Amino acid sequence: MPQEPKKENRIMDLENEMQKVVLWITQIGNLVLLLLWHILHLILSLWYFAVCIAHSLESSLISGGILKRYKSLNLGKVQYFAIVVDSEEAHQTSKVIELLQWLAAIGMKNVCIYDSEGVLKKSKEAILERLNNAKLFEEATKNDPLLDKNHITLEFASFSDGKEALAKAANLLFVKYYLSGDQEQTIFTESHMDEALRAIGSGGPDPDLLLIYGPARCHLGFPAWRIRYTEIVHMGPLKSMKYGSLIKAIHKFTTIRQNYGK
């Protein structure tokens, strides 16, 4: 009988030792995982830094005209061009103007510039004053602004050109085809919707290429019916924009094979 307490004490001591071992193993495991996380984070940071350096170097070489393949651009494949700018960054009017000046220098003739809150719409007069031979899309003298070779045509768009425009276009079609007494026209096609959107001033060509400047990798509410076959490229923050990166994005678009499912 006196030996039973000793056995219990030994068992308790063994359990305590086991708990200490488990705790020690857990702590070692946590330290190893933390070390692996920091190593992985360091590797990714170094890789990202190297990629940024490579892109910056390439952009500088393109800007300097050293990379010959970027000297000639087939702008015939970019009949209509679009830029989406984050609304917070759209307040950087000088950067937007510089970007548009680059496009004008490249030879881009038709540009749509968009931000969701309409910041650029409010600054359009200041922007037009800084650009030579620039005019508004809606003021184009010809029926097809894409044929205007003497000016850069600018269209300013915002989120109000989206759902609200569709609602107005649908109402216009309802009034035209139903309230007018024409009950036979019950099926609407894309051409009807395009006609209605143009009638309310919210229509326009589909951009061939759309560049996004801002932190988000999305079109930020750009009218969805106008980007059915549009190539979308994220360019990073507006403050970090580079001429070489712009040239590279346009050049890449003009050299790829385009299939539209036709």
Give the pLDDT confidence score for residue 138 in this predicted structure: 73
Q: pTM for the full model?
A: 0.72
Whose CA is closest to 256, among 231, 236, 226, 229? Answer: 231
Question: 87 with 114: CB under 8 angstroms?
Answer: no
Give the pLDDT confidence score for residue 94 in this predicted structure: 93
pLDDT in tens, 181-197: 655 656 777 777 777 77
Q: Which CATH architecture has domain 74-162+202-255?
A: 3-Layer(aba) Sandwich (3.40)
Give the pLDDT confidence score for residue 114 in this predicted structure: 94
Q: Where are the domains of the chain?
A: 1-71, 74-162+202-255
Low-confidence ranges of the chain (pLDDT < 50): 1, 141, 143, 145-147, 262
Cα separation, 250 vs 110, whole angstroms: 14
Give the pLDDT confidence score for residue 262 in this predicted structure: 44
Give the pLDDT confidence score for residue 7 in this predicted structure: 63
Percent of the chain residues past pLDDT 90, beyond the cut: 34
